[in-house]
A and B are shown apart, each in its own frame.
Chain A
Amino acid sequence: MMEDKKRGMGKNLGSLKGFSMQFLPYSEIRHLNSDDRIKKILGIILSNNILVIQGKLAPNEETRLIGDTMAMIGHIKSFRGIELAVISGNGREGIFGRFTKGIANALAGGDFSAITIIGPATIVKEIKKNPKKIELLLNK
C-alpha cells in the first residue's frame, strides 16, 4: 500500500515524479554472493528507486547494507541513508508450520513468504509497519 498521510489520494501526484519502483525477483539475486547482492541493491537505490525484493536478506546482509549506506552519507550528495522494511509471516505458525515453510523455502531456494522494501531516505520518509498493514510515507 502506498500512501502519503498528509495528502489525499490522487492529489499532487505530479510531485511524486523523479523515482520509480523496481521489483527484484529472488531469482535475480539467488546466485549472487553477499557482496554482489548488496552492490546490486545499492546500485538500484542510488538511482532513486524504491526497491521491492522478493524474499529477504540474511541478518548479516541487512547490517552490511546499513553499514555500507552509513559510510556513503556525506560522500554522496543528498544521500541520507535508507528506509528498510521486511514483511513476512508473523512467526506464530508453530513449529510444524515453520518446519513445512522451511522445507518449501529450501526447495524453492529462498524465503518467498517475505518481501523487502528498501528506498532512499530522501524519497521514503518512513515505512510504518504494524501486524495488519504497512504504510510507505513519502517525502514531499
Chain B
Amino acid sequence: MPVKIFKNFFGRIFSGIFRNKKEIKLGFYGPPNVGKTSLANRICKDFTGEEIGSVSKIPHETRNVQFKEKVEIEYKGKKMTFKLVDTPGIATKIDYEEFLKYKMNKKEAKERAKEATQGVIESIKWLDDMDMVVVVLDATENPYNQVNITIIGNLVARKIPVIILANKIDMKKADIKKIEMAFPEYDVIGISAKYGKNLEEFYESIFKLSKRV
C-alpha cells in the first residue's frame, strides 16, 4: 500500500512536469482573408522574432498549412509552449475568375485556385490534430456564414476547445455584437491583428482554455 501511494505521488509530479512542458497545438481556422496569418505573425513576431507566413489582400494567400514550433508565450509571468498551426482559409467555393480581378493572368489564377482547393482539404484534415483552436472571424462581415458554423460544429463534435476572435476591430464597419449574437455560447474577443490591439485578453483566454487540453 505505501509503495502504491509513493508511486501515485511521483506519477502525479512527473505527469505534471511533462504536461507543462508539452507543446500545445494551437490552430488558426476561419474563412479566407479574415487575418489568420496576420494574427499568427503577430504572435510569432512578439515571442520568437520571426513571422510564420506572407499576407496579402488577395484571398487564399495561405494555401498550405504552416507551423511555428516551440513558441513560448509569456503572460503575467506564466509561460506556455505552443506549436502554432496557421491553416488555409476554408471556403465552399473557389472560382479562378475571382483572382483575375487582382491583375493575375489566367494561368496564374487557375494555379492559385487549384492550390487553394488543396489548401481547404488540408485544413479540414488537420482539424483532428489540434489541441485547441482559435476561430478567426472578420468583424466587418456577416458571421452567419455556414463555414464559420461548420468549423465550430466540427470542433465541438471533436471536443476541441475553441476561442472565437473577431478580428479587424480597428475598422469602422466592425460589429462585435453581431458576432456575439451569432455565437452566444462563446466569449468573443475583439482584436486587431494588424495593430496588435487587445491581444492581452486573447492571451489570457488561451492560458485559461489550455487547462482543458
A102-140 interface bits toward B, Cβ cutoff 8 Å, 1 = contact, 0 = none: 000000000000000000010000011111000000000
Query: Using a Cβ–Cβ cut-off of 8 Å, how many residues does chain A contribute to the interface with B?
Result: 27
B142 close to A128 (CB less than 8 A): yes
Chain A residues near B121 (CB, 8 Å)?
Answer: 67, 70-71
Residues of A within 8 A of B133 (CB): none
Say yes or no: B144 contacts A81, CB within 8 Å.
no
B residues within 8 Å of A by Cβ? 90-95, 110, 113-114, 117-118, 120-121, 124-125, 127, 142, 144-147, 149-150, 153-154, 156-157, 181, 184-185
The 3 closest A-B pairs by CB, nearest first: A81-B93, A121-B93, A59-B153
Could you tell me the distance between the alpha carbons of A130 and B153 in the complex, rounded to whole angstroms?
18
User: A32 on the interface (CB 8 Å rule)?
Assistant: no
Shortest Cβ distance from B185 into A: residue: A91
A22 in contact (CB, < 8 A): no
Binds B, one of A4-12, A47-55, A82-90: A82-90
Q: Measuring CB to CB, which residues of chain A are less than 8 angstroms from any residue of chain B? A: 58-60, 62-63, 66-67, 69-71, 73-74, 80-86, 91-92, 121, 127-131
Q: Contacts of B184 on A, CB cut-off 8 Å? A: 91-92
CB-nearest residue of chain B relative to A128? B142
Taking a contact as CB atoms under 8 Å apart, the answer to whether B146 and A80 are in contact is no
Q: Is B150 a contact partner of A59 (Cβ separation < 8 A)?
A: yes
| A62, A66, A91, A128: residue with the most chain B Cβ atoms closer than 10 Å | A66
Q: A63-B124, A66-B124 are in contact. Are A130 and B92 (CB under 8 A)?
A: no
Contact across chains for A80 and B94 when beta carbons are under 8 A apart: yes
A91 vs B65: C-alpha distance in the bound complex, in angstroms?
33
Q: Which residue on chain A has the smallest CB distance to residue B153?
A: A59
Residue of B nearest to A121 (CB): B93
Query: Is A58 a contact partner of B92 (Cβ separation < 8 A)?
Result: no
Q: Given A62-B154, A83-B93, A85-B146, output 20 extra A-B contacts at Cβ < 8 Å.
A: A58-B157, A59-B150, A59-B154, A62-B146, A63-B127, A66-B147, A70-B94, A70-B120, A73-B114, A74-B117, A81-B92, A82-B93, A83-B92, A84-B150, A86-B146, A86-B149, A129-B142, A129-B144, A130-B142, A130-B144
CA distance A85 to B146 in the complex (A): 6
For residue A82, which residues in chain B have a CB less than 8 angstroms away from its CB? 92-93
Across-interface contacts of A131 in B (CB, < 8 A): 144, 181
CB distance from B27 to the nearest CB of A (A): 14
A66 x B142 contact (CB < 8 A): no
* Residue pair A66, B94 in contact (C-beta under 8 Å): no
With a 10 A CB-CB cut-off, give which of A62, A85, A128 has the most chain B CB atoms.
Answer: A62
Report Cα–Cα, A73/B117, bound state, in Å.
7
Which B residues are CB-close (under 8 A) to A58?
157
CA distance A91 to B145 in the complex (A): 16
* B114, B121, B125, B184 pick with most chain A CB within 10 angstroms: B121
Taking the nearest CB of chain A, how far is it from the CB of B56, in angstroms? Answer: 21
Nearest CB in chain B: distance from A33 CB, A: 17
What are 18 A-B contacts defined by CB distance under 8 Å?
A: A59-B154, A62-B153, A66-B92, A66-B120, A66-B150, A67-B124, A67-B125, A70-B94, A71-B117, A73-B94, A74-B110, A74-B113, A81-B91, A82-B92, A91-B185, A127-B146, A129-B145, A129-B146
